[in-house]
A and B are shown apart, each in its own frame.
Chain A
Amino acid sequence: MFIYEKKLQYPVNIKTPNPKLAKLIITQYGGPDGELGASMRYLSQRFTMPMPELKGTLTDIGTEELNHLEMIGAIVYQLTKNLTEEQIKAAGFEDYFVDHTTGIYPQSASGVPWTAAGMQSKGDAITDLHENMAAEQKARSTYDNILRFCDDYDVKDAIRFLRAREVVHYQRFGENLRLLTDKLDSKNFYAFNPEFDKACFRNKK
């Protein structure tokens, strides 16, 4: 279960609205490599994941992604606060505005609503851990791309924090994969699905 703390993981204090930038950053709220997908991916995969260390990692990183989702929501909220109709027009924000006004909606930068089709819970620990390492790198690339279009220090500061977390999570999932393969037959890690063919943990030579 979860307990809410009435604070962000890292502060977001944006003084200057920028709806054009908000339309790009929303992709980390509900886009293909965004924080919502990351959280759902890890919190779903963990139910059938073998080994206590792996269950712990998925629970804790899946929860941290919810912190990041909230930070992205705060960034988009602050970038679109108190807009005038002129500012909306000048920034090309009308297309988002007609559907959601300035509400926070999980969609990609190109307007595609959040979909679970962008994530996987394969029920195979080797496959899922590779998916997770790839997901962290994809999110890191997205933050790098976002940073190309940021010139406001307050936005950059929060985005850089989030980018750094992708790198740390990648590291932890790499360690998960090593912990797992250490328990498997080194002659052929792929002979069994470690989540389904549980006997494989007993077969180790």
Chain B
Amino acid sequence: MTKRETLLKKISTYQFAALDMQIYLDTHPNDRAALEKAEKYKAMARPLIEQYEEQYGPLTKKVTDTNTWTWVKGPWPWESEDDC
């Protein structure tokens, strides 16, 4: 795995933990421990997302470079670095 892929996997791990909690909360909306966990995992992903977007470009559509629309820059999620 490249450095980029390793960082992305870390982000995905925290995001997934948060998502799994959120779906659990749909059927257990008053479970305070789960509410706290969902927020905790989301918060853990946040600085990593900032770091990723600074180094490799946006994960959601936004301007990260005033000279160019970096959103279109590869690799796209189904590709690897050697596809670009």
Contact = CB atoms under 8 A, between A and B. Distances in A.
A8 interface: yes
B31 to A, nearest CB: 12
Given A60-B23, A64-B23, A6 B76 contact: yes
Interface in A70-103: 70, 73-74, 77-78
A60 B12 contact: no
B8 interface: yes
Interface of B: 1, 5, 8-9, 11-12, 16, 19-20, 22-24, 26-29, 57-61, 71, 76-78, 80
A7 B8 contact: yes
Interface of A: 3-13, 53, 56-57, 60-61, 64, 70, 73-74, 77-78, 168, 172, 175-176, 179
Contacts of B16: 9-10
A51 to B, nearest CB: 10
A74 B78 contact: yes
Contact of A60 (B5, B26, B28, B77): B26
Nearest to B6: A11
A175 B29 CA distance: 12
A200 B5 CA distance: 52
B12 A7 contact: yes
A53 B60 CA distance: 28
A116 B12 CA distance: 31
